[in-house]
């Protein structure tokens, strides 16, 4: 089974009203933990690589590791570039064997975002690769921010329709209140579901994407802190909100921070309890298992993607 695009996955997810997890990968243990969970859960899966991950591990190593995962598990895996910031990195990933790329032109003007996205779509589609784009800016939105400013940041539903029509993009990341990292909300977590529903209604049968969708489970923050960490004020997206998003055309949910927390909590705990050990395999083995457990939980209870292959 070669790497696949997300086209079929999203079609099934849209119809079944669930989401496919897109998990960020940086090394072998993370990849193994994720794919072992997907195999056991018989869940569709997207592995995604950020520019930082590509710089850290090198394109060729990640490519070969993911190819090994496909061969080892027989799973239909989609390999995706996360937050490509320009045409060149998208082209490098298309040419280098990825089956999906994200062009993140969200920092540009509407017209410049369209032009850049259109260019990437033309190049990628010509080579059988699908493209995700972003409209609206993801950020921690303060409680006190005025509605006008909020509207400027969140995705405008009418613009989303125009953007999709003019770019020919395959999926669209939207901003409805999530943000990257472990500090997503200052007060009560809130997502703009009315906006999501409107976008979803205006774009029927079109896959939407939610970035910044880690839940930041308190038990992992506590575990990190119990063993020497200092993570204060962390707050993620509640699981029931993510489950609900899957019912409004959100077919891809991005998760990175929760994997980082699970892995780091495990390593901190192991090293604190075994101060004499210095064989990396001893602490990476439970860390890999922690990744697998976290991904299993996501597939079963948050994405609702188990047994969908």
For residue 156, the partner it binds in ligand 13P, ligand G3H, Zn ion, none, with Cβ less than 5 to 8 A by kind, is none
> What is the separation of C-alpha 173 from the centre of its chain, rounded to a whole number of angstroms?
10
Q: How many CB atoms lie within 10 A of CB 68?
A: 14
Nearer to ligand G3H, 179 or 200 (CB): 179
Q: Which residues pair with 131 in a beta bridge?
A: 101
For residue 228, the partner it binds in ligand G3H, Zn ion, ligand 13P, none, with Cβ less than 5 to 8 A by kind, is none
CA dist., res. 132 & res. 84, Å (int): 10
CA dist., res. 193 & res. 284, Å (int): 39
Nearer to ligand 13P, 55 or 271 (CB): 55
CA dist., res. 218 & res. 123, Å (int): 43
Q: Pick the catalytic residue: 82, 104, 156, 258?
A: 82
| 8 Å CB contact between 131 and 120 | yes
CA dist., res. 255 & res. 262, Å (int): 12
By the rule CB under 5 A, 252 interacts with Zn ion: no
Kindly tell me the number of DSSP H helices and DSSP E strands found in the chain: 13, 8
Site string for Zn ion, 192-211 (x = CB under 5 A): -------------------x
CB of 213 to ligand 13P, least distance (A): 5
By the rule CB under 5 A, 269 interacts with Zn ion: no
Nearer to ligand G3H, 50 or 225 (CB): 50
CB of 1 to ligand 13P, least distance (A): 25
Q: What letter does residue 18 receive in the DSSP assignment? A: -
* Binding footprint of ligand 13P on the chain (CB under 6 A): 24, 82-83, 180-181, 211-214, 254-258
CA dist., res. 141 & res. 160, Å (int): 20
Active site residue 72: no
Give the H/E segment covering residue 23. strand 20-24
Nearer to Zn ion, 211 or 298 (CB): 211
CB of 141 to ligand G3H, least distance (A): 17
CB of 256 to ligand G3H, least distance (A): 3
CB of 181 to ligand 13P, least distance (A): 5
CA dist., res. 154 & res. 176, Å (int): 5
Catalytic residue positions?
82
- Contacts with Zn ion, residue ranges (CB under 5 A): 211
């Amino acid at each position: 089974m070669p790497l696949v695009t997300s086209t079929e996955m999203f079609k099934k997810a849209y119809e079944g009203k669930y989401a496919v997890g897109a998990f960020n990968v940086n090394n072998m243990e993370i990849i193994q933990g994720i794919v072992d969970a997907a195999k056991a859960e018989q869940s569709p899966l997207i592995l995604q690589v950020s520019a930082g991950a590509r710089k850290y591990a090198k394109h060729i190593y990640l490519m070969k590791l993911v190819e090994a995962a496909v061969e080892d598990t027989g799973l239909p895996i989609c390999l995706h570039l996360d937050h490509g910031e320009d045409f060149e990195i998208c082209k490098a990933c298309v040419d280098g064997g990825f089956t999906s790329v994200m062009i993140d032109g969200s920092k540009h003007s509407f017209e410049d975002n369209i032009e850049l996205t259109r260019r990437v779509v033309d190049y990628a589609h010509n080579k059988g690769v699908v493209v995700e784009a972003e409209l609206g800016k993801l950020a921690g939105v303060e409680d006190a921010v005025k509605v006008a400013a909020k509207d400027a940041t969140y995705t405008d539903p009418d613009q989303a329709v125009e953007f999709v029509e003019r770019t020919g993009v395959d999926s669209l990341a939207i901003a409805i209140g999530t943000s990257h990292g472990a500090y997503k909300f200052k007060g009560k977590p809130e997502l703009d579901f009315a906006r999501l529903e409107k976008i979803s209604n205006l774009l029927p049968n079109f896959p939407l994407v939610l970035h910044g969708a880690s839940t930041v489970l308190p038990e992992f923050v506590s575990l990190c802190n119990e063993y020497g960490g200092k993570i204060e004020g962390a707050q993620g997206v509640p699981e029931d909100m993510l489950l609900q998003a899957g019912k409004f055309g959100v077919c891809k949910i991005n998760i990175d921070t929760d994997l980082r927390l699970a892995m780091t909590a495990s390593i901190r705990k192991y090293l604190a309890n075994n101060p004499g050990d210095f064989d990396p395999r001893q602490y990476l083995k439970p860390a890999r298992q922690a990744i697998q457990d976290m991904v299993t939980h996501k597939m079963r209870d948050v994405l609702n993607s188990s047994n969908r292959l």
